[in-house]
Structure 1
Amino acid sequence: MSRELFWFGVVGGSAMFVHFSLVSWLLVPAGLSPLVANILGFLLAFKLSYWGHRLKTFNAHHVPHVKALPRFFLVASLSFALNETLYFLLLRYSQLDYREALLLVLFVVAAVTFLLGRFWAFQGVRQP
């Protein structure tokens, strides 16, 4: 499990960096609202997240995409729904800057994503 946690951190951190960078340095400064930019950031970072977790975190090289991709997309979508809800609440009811709120939300939701990815999306297909 320590190997999985290491790669989850590397892959998740990379996807989080892509997501955060797109939202904070490109999309919001270009005029999109933070919530809309967050949706686009999620969609763009998803591809990196799926392939990284499939190949490195959960070592699921042999699982068919027809099984893993829909499951992981559901996991990511549920995590994102939680992300967007928490982000909305923090933007609306806290004094946090949108960047601080986004970082906080991304870290909280990462734990949910790991657990669902490990115990459901890629379940039964990891190589020892």
Structure 2
Amino acid sequence: MNKVAITKSTTKSPASTSQQALWFLIVGASAALVHFLVLVSIVSFTAITPTWANVMAFLLAFIVSFFGHFYLTFRQPMQAYEYDDQKQNAKQNFRVFSWRHSLPTLIKWFASSAVGFAANQSLFVLGLNWFGEHYYIPIWIVVTGIITVMTFSLGKLWAFKS
């Protein structure tokens, strides 16, 4: 069988910064919604404190964030994959998630997200200490807004940089 190496997808040009910012807000809002709903659910239905509930909520929201940014915000050119001649036409226009090829991006995005979360968690705990746990929802909203710009920059300039 003949093998064909596909090195880059030429069907789409890289998204502009404004398109990326829009997708970043949409994906980020989706991940933030997951984060928020998990946080509120854990605090409401368990004896876990908001500080620890926020950590658990972050981990679940990270999954939404990574795949949303991987496929929508920071679309990458296809990596070099080999396909049989018959499979080439069917697969060349799809970006395939492959652990082998996507792991470096996943690690960098997790590092970016972890830095963002560390800043988020620090400000969140500081806000809880200043205003009390009763105000955890408005504190979370303000802190999340502050951290958004930082994580967009890390994603665009480092984690998903092609």
| Structure 2 length-normalised TM | 0.72
Provide the C-alpha distance between the structure 2 equivalents of 1:61 and 1:33, rounded to a whole number of angstroms. Answer: 42
Unaligned runs of 5+ in 1: none
Residue 29 of structure 1: aligned partner: 44
Kept in 2: contact 1:19–1:41 (CA 8 A) = yes
Q: What's the % identity of the aligned pairs?
A: 33
Equivalent position of 1:54 in the other structure = 70
Per-residue deviation at 1:54?
A: 1.0
Cα-to-partner distance string for 1:10-54 (whole Å, 9 max, x where unaligned):
000000000001111x10012210000000000001011001011
Q: CA deviation at 1:93?
A: 1.2
Deviates more, 1:94-103 or 1:73-82: 94-103
Whether 2:59 is the aligned partner of 1:43: answer yes
The answer on 1:97 being equivalent to 2:112 is no
Task: Answer with 1 or 2: which has the greater Rg.
Answer: 2
Q: CA deviation at 1:61?
A: 5.5
Deviates more, 1:39-48 or 1:102-111: 102-111
Q: Tell me which residue corresponds to 2:147.
A: 109
Q: Which has the higher strand share?
A: 2
Distance 1:66 1:15 in 2: 20
Structure 2 unaligned spans of 5+: 1-16, 80-100
Choose which of 111, 116, 120 in structure 1 pairs with 2:158. Answer: 120
Report how many residues are paired.
123
SS at match of 2:120: helix
RMSD: 1.3
Maintained 8 Å contact 1:55/1:61:
no
